[in-house]
Amino acid sequence: MKLPRLSSFFKGMNLTVFTFVMIFLYIPILILIIFSFNDARIITSWKGFTFKYYAQLWENAAIKEAFWNTMLIAILSTVISTLLGLITALGLENKRLKGRRGFMGLLYAPLVIPDILMGVSLALLFNFLRVNTGMVTVLIAHITFCVSYAVIVIQSRLEDFDYSLIEAAMDLGAKPRTTFFKVKLPLIMPGVIAAALLSFTLSIDDFIITFFTSGRGFDTLPIYVEGTIRRGTITTINSLSTLMIGFTLFLVVFTKRIRKSLISFF
């Protein structure tokens, strides 16, 4: 079927805007990468090529600590919220479950409320409970904002699920347990993986909620970077940022491969 052709004016406009947006989206990233090799104390103008900030990065104990904190929180909150998300999505699978609408509302609410409010409210909760802020409070906060995403991503996968496959498995002699592990779980796995990846990126990306729930002495990378920018000692930030962009790119490529290999089944 041939689609109606857009006149060249419309087409040209769309292409122009697209190109403009692409430049807009990538210029800052490119500049950051280039300037991470800039041999200058002040970030702004080009003074020559160097690797020294990458070396400094390696020697900076605070950055290393912030990195490991970020990873620790990201991995823990990913595992916990993905598992929570999976069992919750399975629990809410039955559309006729009483009270399902209310539960869904509670799950969707964190997605439509500005992050800063979640940060403030958690900060005040921890204050009210007289809990010392630190790793545990940050972890709790991260699980709180990841779990909704995890449930929703896995649920969308379950929505496409063909229940006659469950019948087929039982028909062929598989008991409910076997059916779950051999048929259902493998088929919703792409959703589970997507949920985990989303939780992970949300966790390592978060600044504001962490900012409100972490105490002194527990910095994640975004917190560390923000502090450094504020204090003005930013020479290593370029190189750190470049590495983080590299990591993002790796994730994108990595998930695409997972996605591809899973799509080929269908």
Piece of 48-56, 59-67, 71-79, 231-239 that binds other proteins (CB under 8 A) = 231-239
Q: Does 65 bind other proteins (CB under 8 A)?
A: no
Residue 213, judged by CB atoms within 10 A of its CB (0-12, 13-18, 19+), counts as buried
Among positions 23, 40, 55, 97, the unique one binding other proteins when judged by CB under 8 A: 97
In this structure, are residues 56 and 39 in contact, taking their beta carbons and an 8 Å threshold? no
- Give the footprint of other proteins on residues 166-225 (CB under 8 A): 166-176, 178, 182-183, 186-187, 201, 204-205, 207-208, 211-212, 221-222, 225
Q: Does 4 bind other proteins (CB under 8 A)?
A: yes
Least distance (Å) from other proteins to the CB of residue 158? 12
Q: Cα separation of 115 and 207, whole Å?
A: 9
Structure tokens given for 91: 């629990």
Q: Cα separation of 192 and 154, whole Å?
A: 6
Give the count of alpha carbons within 13 A of 66, CB side only: 25
In this structure, are residues 62 and 224 in contact, taking their beta carbons and an 8 Å threshold? yes
Task: Count the neighbouring beta carbons within 10 Å of the beta carbon of residue 50.
Answer: 14
Q: Does 55 bind other proteins (CB under 8 A)?
A: no
Least distance (Å) from other proteins to the CB of residue 233? 13
Q: Which is nearer to other proteins, 43 or 72 (CB)?
A: 43
Q: Does 49 bind other proteins (CB under 8 A)?
A: no
Q: Which is nearer to other proteins, 55 or 124 (CB)?
A: 124
Among positions 26, 51, 58, 181, the unique one binding other proteins when judged by CB under 8 A: 26
Structure tokens given for 44: 């702004």
Q: Does 23 bind other proteins (CB under 8 A)?
A: no
